[in-house]
Structure 1
Amino acid sequence: MMQIHCPFRRLALLCTLFLSGLGAVGYVQAQMDHSSGMTSSTKKHMTCQGSSLECANAATPFFAGDGKLLLAWTANGVVSVAQSNDLGKTFSTPVSIAEHGKSLDTGSDARPQIVADRENNVFLAYSFFKDSHWNAQINTARSLDGGNTFTQPTSLVSDSSSQRFPSVLIKPNGNIFISWIDKRLVAAAKQGGERRLGGSIAYSLSQDGGKTFQAERFANESTCECCRIGGALDTQSQPAIVYRAIFSGGIRDQASQVISDNGAGPVRRVADDDWKTDACPHHGPSIAISGSGKFHVAWYTQGSKRVGVFYANSSNQGATYSKPSRIGAEGANVARPYLLAMGQHVWIVWKEFDGKKSSVFLKESTDDGGTWGSPKILASTAGYSDHPLLLARGNEVFLSWLTRDDGYQLMNIGRNQ
């Protein structure tokens, strides 16, 4: 199941060692972030048969307009969606969207994307590999009946190179914004006999619920090719994205951009981590935007200036960011931070592995990231687990966490003050 993408053979050793700061088990966690070593539960995951939620490797939640929970997941090459009216305690019969077998993209930063508008029209996006060279295709599907049935999946774009890691946001007016890692510029350079590293951030907008999309555009032509994109809507409902960009000298640090109706804004560096690598971290960032418009960003780095998981915020749409602060204990195996903000209240969760079990930690700020409370453990598991995710329904905030031993969990962790 573990997918290690090394773009060059001479960097194979680097791909094996570049996350050594997390330790041997932490490396596996950073690449897959699903398990904590070869426990009996991990072995169960590797042999789990079928496409049910019990065999899922990743699950993505979304609260529909009527308050029901939509859950999309991938298991053994199948993409499925189900609904819950009791906050994840029970689910409807799953709807199988597509079956791609081993070609389904189940890398550690890959997961299906699902959103719904106020009329409960549902939009889904996922990616699968078209060949053995990590060239992928993003498929989309729609439901006009709240998730009971879906259209046949179709390709998001007509370009034949590679598109991967879709990130989807839905605006209050129902327009759907999607961004992804695009490799067409890399493919074109290769055909011209040139060598081009990484990929590009592309994006598009749909004004008809995902039936059609505008012509795709580039936000940044030089980015990491294997890390997910974090996204959030600002106070003007403009998408703000954060991702691992490639800066001069092959430095792969985090960058943010605001996408307006006129196009992509300037690329703004979140922090000068100085991570020079041609390998693939498979460890993307997270962004949340508070009621004041402040950007809150969390990310992972193995830079020469700092190593670990960090947080910073910006009060000027990313023009400048605060000094990065460490998330979790220094020296701990910390991974997969995720943020959510409402009003002046900000929540951040992450995973830590202590050698035997993975735990989800939580910290909160009630003053827009000015100060933070002490971290506390929300849940732990000794086996396979997905990334921790946060979502809101009204003023209530929930942790979404898929584990092998305890199944899918939706935990109410507080409310906006």
Structure 2
Amino acid sequence: MALGALLGAPAAMAEEHAPASATAPATPPAAPAAASHHAAPACSEPKPACAMTVNPAFDSKGALWVAFAVGKTVYVASSTDGGKSFSAPATIATIADGVIDSHGDARPKIVPLADGALLASYTTRPDKQMIGTIFTARSTDGGKSFSAPQALLNEGGQRFETFVVTPKGRIYAGWLDKTNMLKAKAEGKEFEGSGVAFGWSDDHGQTFQGKKILLDHACECCRMSSALDKDGQPVFVWRQVFEGNIRDHYAAKLSADGATLTGGRVSDDNWAINSCPHHGPGMTIDANGVWHVVWFTKGKNRQGLFYAQSRDGGKSFSNPEKFGDDAKAPGHPVAIATKGRLYRVWKEFDGTTTSIASQTSRDGGKSWSAPRVIAETADASDHPELVANKNAAYLSWVTHKEGYRLIPLPRDDKSASVK
């Protein structure tokens, strides 16, 4: 599919001009249990339980690593007992001015590498502005200390980074980049959204090469998601702004040289909105190379949470399948594939309790188990994150009341329960 033919609408409203109520989010912003974007931190100690967001990853030895921010400091810590306790946190950086992206779709990241090194990232931006700078830092001593953070780029404005590590150790990075938007604005021209940019590292994250915007007009405040395809190349999915301010999703594979994208539109939801949904998609790819995408929409053609898959490398996608309970404002879906299992997980709110619901598929997404609640809280909470270790999958979730929890996803329907 030709990308250029899909684009070309007038400028969209900036993120700071898009109040939550105007974007019709999946969870009511006034409810304490659902206010994960703007809730005050639960506490101020440097530990995952005090963070508004937590990003998890397992290393090759089975240790759980988490990246998080408390106040104006970014930390990394590890756990060897399933998240019940954590090591003393290592400080990545403390900023003097501005804020650290650590809410909802935006959060610090941690990437364990095969040689034992760790790559951490975070984004800073001026308060009440959405023009950010992505920084990366590395640890080569088991997470005890990290190198001085380096800016991924020194101009433009970048946010919502995501990383994919190939079997050969190359690290691909994708992010949303406002460089072209700022140039257009300086020239008095209209420009919609952000660019979709990519780069790669062959030296374990010390430097990134080939940093380039390959496509313009991505929705500027929804996260990108990524996964590794069967052939070892990275695939990315994001909310794209199509002609007429239609904010639907696009999935594409990045070529080995980082120069081209190959993929297609996930669905024609036809969500015309002159503001930003703050609601990015989720993606996973199974061992057979099938792309699985989950997302939220309030489009003319469909509304709610949906799932689709592609068996031809993004050239076409299956008819969107609806899931989630509309009476409980479902939102923020994520997906993960492990050996013999495919999971989709999302957040719901019934007016009092926020819950995390889960479904399992044993046939590659053709059929799914009945939804089951696997965690809940009566207070503010983060969006759900999924992480895998060997053949097991886990929900990673931090809430004000319960703190940080790492919950195994069920291998069978009977083992699913609230924890």
Percent identity over the alignment is 35
| Regions of 4+ moved over 3 Å | 20-29, 32-35, 130-133
Counterpart mapping for 1:173-192 below 5 A: 173-192=168-187
Counterpart mapping for 1:270-281 below 5 A: 270-281=266-277
Contact 1:165 1:181 in 2 (8 A): yes
Displacement of 1:411: 1.4
Choose from 17, 38, 48 the match for 2:22: 17
- SS at structure 2 position matched to 1:266: strand
Displacement of 1:414: 3.7
Contact 1:290 1:344 in 2 (8 A): no
Contact 2:105 2:278 in 1 (8 A): yes
Q: 1:34, 1:401 → 2: CA distance?
A: 14
Q: 1:363, 1:290 → 2: CA distance?
A: 16
- SS at structure 2 position matched to 1:185: helix
Choose from 14, 17, 28 the match for 1:7: 14
Q: Which letter does structure 2 place at the counterpart of 1:220?
A: L
Displacement of 1:268: 0.8
Contact 1:26 1:333 in 2 (8 A): no
Displacement of 1:246: 1.0
Contact 2:15 2:276 in 1 (8 A): no
Q: 2:335, 2:198 → 1: CA distance?
A: 22
Displacement of 1:233: 0.3
Output one character per residue of 1:259-279: Cα deviation in whole Å (capped at 9) or x when no partner. 121433234110101111221
In structure 2, the gaps of 5 or more residues are: 1-11, 413-419
Output one character per residue of 1:350-387: Cα deviation in whole Å (capped at 9) or x when no partner. 11001111111110000000111101110110012111
Residue in 2 that maps onto 1:360 = 356
Residue in 1 that maps onto 2:242 = 247
Per chain length, whose mean CA-contact separation is higher, i.e. which structure has more relative contact order (CA < 8 Å, sep 6+)? 2
Counterpart mapping for 1:4-403 below 5 A: 7=14, 16-19=21-24, 22-23=27-28, 25=30, 29=34, 33=36, 45-46=40-41, 48-100=43-95, 102-130=98-126, 132-158=128-154, 160-262=155-257, 263-403=259-399
- SS at structure 2 position matched to 1:331: helix
Residue 411 and residue 131 in structure 1: after superposition, are their counterparts in 2 closer, same or farther (change >3 A)? closer
Q: 1:280, 1:326 → 2: CA distance?
A: 22
Displacement of 1:34: 5.6
- In the superposition, the TM-score normalised over structure 2's length comes to 0.90
- SS at structure 1 position matched to 2:209: coil
Residue 132 and residue 399 in structure 1: after superposition, are their counterparts in 2 closer, same or farther (change >3 A)? closer
Displacement of 1:87: 1.4
Q: 1:177, 1:27 → 2: CA distance?
A: 37
- SS at structure 2 position matched to 1:304: coil
Structure 1 range deviating more: 103-112 or 361-370: 103-112
- SS at structure 1 position matched to 2:330: strand
Residue 384 and residue 20 in structure 1: after superposition, are their counterparts in 2 closer, same or farther (change >3 A)? closer
Q: 2:218, 2:409 → 1: CA distance?
A: 35
Displacement of 1:256: 0.3
Q: 1:370, 1:277 → 2: CA distance?
A: 32
Displacement of 1:69: 0.9
Residue 197 and residue 391 in structure 1: after superposition, are their counterparts in 2 closer, same or farther (change >3 A)? same
Displacement of 1:15: 5.3
Displacement of 1:56: 0.4
